[in-house]
Amino acid sequence: MAEFRMPSLGADMEAGTLVEWLKKPGEKVARGDVIAVVETQKGAIEVECFETGTLAEYLVEPGAKVPVGTPLARIETESERHEEPRPATPKPEAAEPAQAPKPAAPKPEPEPQVPPPSPTPERARRRVSPAARKIARERGIDLSGIEGSGPGGAVVSADLPEAAARPAASAPRGRLDLGEMRKAIAAAMARSKREIPHYYLAHDIDLTAAETWLARTNGARTPEDRLLMGVLLVKAVARALARFPEFNGTWEDAAFRPGEGIHVGVAIAIRGGGLIAPAIRDADGLSLDDLMAHLRDLVARVRSGALRSSELGGATATVSSLGDRGVGTLYGVIYPPQVALIGFGRPSPRPWAVGEALAVRTVLTATLAADHRASDGHRGALLLREIDTLLQDPEAL
235 vs 362: CA distance, rounded Å:
19
CB of 165 to another protein, least distance (A): 10
382 vs 380: CA distance, rounded Å:
5
| Bridge partners (DSSP) listed for residue 359 | 352
Residue 257 and residue 317 in contact, taking contact as beta carbons nearer than 8 Å: no
Most distant CA atoms of the chain, gap in Å: 83
Residue 386 and residue 342 in contact, taking contact as beta carbons nearer than 8 Å: no
Nearer to another protein, 149 or 170 (CB): 149
87 vs 4: CA distance, rounded Å:
14
Nearer to another protein, 89 or 170 (CB): 170
Nearer to another protein, 135 or 364 (CB): 135
CB of 159 to another protein, least distance (A): 9
**Packing angle of the helix pair 208-219, 229-243 (nearest 10 deg):** 130
CB of 136 to another protein, least distance (A): 12
372 catalytic residue (yes or no) = yes
Q: Which residues contact 180 (CB under 8 A, 6 or more apart)?
A: none
Site for another protein in 365-384 (CB under 8 A): none
6 vs 17: CA distance, rounded Å:
9
Site for another protein in 153-212 (CB under 8 A): 153-154, 156-158
Site for another protein in 243-262 (CB under 8 A): none
Site for another protein in 124-153 (CB under 8 A): 129-134, 148-153
Residue 298 and residue 280 in contact, taking contact as beta carbons nearer than 8 Å: yes
CB of 121 to another protein, least distance (A): 25
Nearer to another protein, 141 or 384 (CB): 141
Site string for another protein, 4-23 (x = CB under 8 A): --------------------
* Alpha-carbon separation of residue 212 from 123, 207, 391 (angstroms): 58, 9, 11
Residue 295 and residue 159 in contact, taking contact as beta carbons nearer than 8 Å: no
- Residue 113 C-beta-side C-alpha neighbours within 13 Å: 2
Count the site residues for another protein by CB under 8 A: 16
Count CB atoms within 10 A of the CB of residue 337. 21
76 vs 225: CA distance, rounded Å:
67
Q: Residue 117 interacts with another protein (CB under 8 A)?
A: no
Nearer to another protein, 130 or 223 (CB): 130
CB of 140 to another protein, least distance (A): 17
CB of 166 to another protein, least distance (A): 11
State the DSSP string of 313-346: S--SEEEEE-GGGS-S-------TTB-EEEEE--
Nearer to another protein, 151 or 223 (CB): 151
Nearer to another protein, 103 or 130 (CB): 130
106 vs 156: CA distance, rounded Å:
44
CB of 175 to another protein, least distance (A): 31
Classify residue 147 as left (phi > 0), alpha (psi -120 to 50) or beta.
beta
Site string for another protein, 73-112 (x = CB under 8 A): ----------------------------------------
- Given the residues 82, 203, 372, 378, select the one marked as catalytic: 372
Q: Which residues bind another protein (CB under 8 A)?
A: 129-134, 148-154, 156-158
Indicate which residues carry an active-site annotation.
Answer: 372
